[in-house]
Amino acid sequence: MKTGFADRVKKAAAAIPTGFRPETAVILGSGLSGIVDGLGYHEISYAQIPEFPKPTVAGHKGVLCLSGKNAIMAGRFHYYEGFSMDDVVLPVFVLRELGVKNLILTNAAGGINPRFNPGDLVLIVDHINMLGTNPFIGPNPAGADGLPLGDRFFDMSDVYSRDLRAIAWSCAKVPPKEGVYAAMTGPSYETPAEVRMLKAMGADLVGMSTVPEAITARYLGMRVLGISCVTNMAAGIGTTPLDHAEVVGVGKRVETELKQLIFGVLSRLEIQGGA
Ligand code: HPA
């Protein structure tokens, strides 16, 4: 993190109307933003939040939706858009400032595991960071201007909460699959050789997001649930060339199932008081 990051977080958090104390937040991935349509949540455009970057990708709306106990970010920031890692993870710090304890990260991903099919929802059990960077390179923001304390060297052995996964299992209509997510920078999709490499490393899914936010959530002591929507088979696994419009299109088709799963988890957590 760069010096001054704490000020940026405070400034952004101060722009969120008081009265919203979300305990669980959802970050929606490419093509999955439609989930917030017609919800009746209070909406704040990212343009109204100082220090929040503005999404540049088709399929990302750029609104923060708030209700009593929940926050939903329709639109996220990717490293490939040219944003710094500070920008990519700033919203997670802001959500933590608002009181968020559980973070649900969703994404569109390419399926590497041949047991997966386009349209599958897969719970992330672990990740492989192939971004070549880490949001915590640089001064440790711990304690700066009252930001939550996090250790310089923090444990990553259980990033994706078993408890939240168990809740997701119990809420899902179709039993979800599980897998390891590898993050590449993009924006080009992978070559078949890269996909073979990721497969040999133990990855089941590949995408261009989620890992920086998951690392940050871990640093901040949040519980993380990661849900990938398999929008296509990764290069060389499927037979067709990859196309962003197709990725967004498949995301739209599974939106109903994902919405049902997310709201199932949210209501279960509300019943449990966020714990
Ligand atoms: N690779 C990387 N990111 C992705 C893919 C993919 O195949 N599909 C959706 N996001």
Q: What is the CATH number of the domain that holds 36?
A: 3.40.50.1580
Residues of the chain short of pLDDT 50, as ranges, are none
- How far, in Å, are 203, 226, 260 from residue 168 at the CA level? 21, 10, 10
**What is d(CA 133, CA 135) in angstroms, rounded to the nearest whole number?**
7
**CA-CA distances (angstroms) from residue 257 to 116, 121, 204?**
16, 8, 21
> 207: CA distance to ligand 1 center in Å?
5
Question: Is 42 marked active-site?
Answer: no
Residues with CB under 6 A from ligand 1: 108-110, 189-190, 206-208, 231-232, 234, 242, 247
User: What type of residue is 26?
Assistant: V
Residue with tokens 């991935």, as numbered in its chain: 29
Q: Is 239 exposed, middle or buried (0-12, 13-18, 19+ CB in 10 A)?
A: exposed
Q: Is 184 a catalytic residue?
A: no
pLDDT at 259: 92
Look-up of token digits 């919800």: 39
- Which pLDDT value is given to residue 142? 67
Could you identify the atom of ligand 1 that is nearest to the CA of residue 242?
A: 7
For ligand 1, atom 3, the nearest C-alpha belongs to 207
Number of domains in the chain: 1
The residue length of the chain stands at: 275
Residues of the domain holding 204: 5-271
Of 12, 30, 46, 213, which residue is the catalytic one? 30
Question: Taking a C-beta distance cutoff of 8 angstroms, is the pair 185, 131 a contact?
Answer: yes
CA distances from 244 to 192, 215, 233, 256 (A): 17, 26, 13, 20
Distance CA 35, CA 23 (A): 19
What lies within 8 Å, CB to CB, of 37 at 6+ separation is: none
Distance between CA atoms of 188 and 151, rounded to whole angstroms? 34
pLDDT at 57: 65
Rounded Cα gap, residues 84 and 135, in angstroms: 9
What is the separation of C-alpha 199 from the centre of its chain, rounded to a whole number of angstroms?
A: 22
Query: Separation of 60 CA from ligand 1 center, angstroms?
Result: 15
228 counts as catalytic: no
pLDDT of residue 19: 85
Predicted local confidence at residue 246, as pLDDT: 79
CA of 208 relative to ligand 1 center, distance in Å: 7
- Catalytic residue status for 194: no
Q: So what's the pLDDT on residue 96?
A: 95
Of all protein residues, the one whose alpha carbon is nearest to atom 9 of ligand 1 is 109
DSSP state of 253: H
pLDDT of residue 143: 66
What was the pLDDT predicted at 146? 64
Strand 63-66, strand 42-45: pairing: antiparallel
CA 204 to chain centre: 17
Q: Is the pTM of this model over 0.85?
A: yes
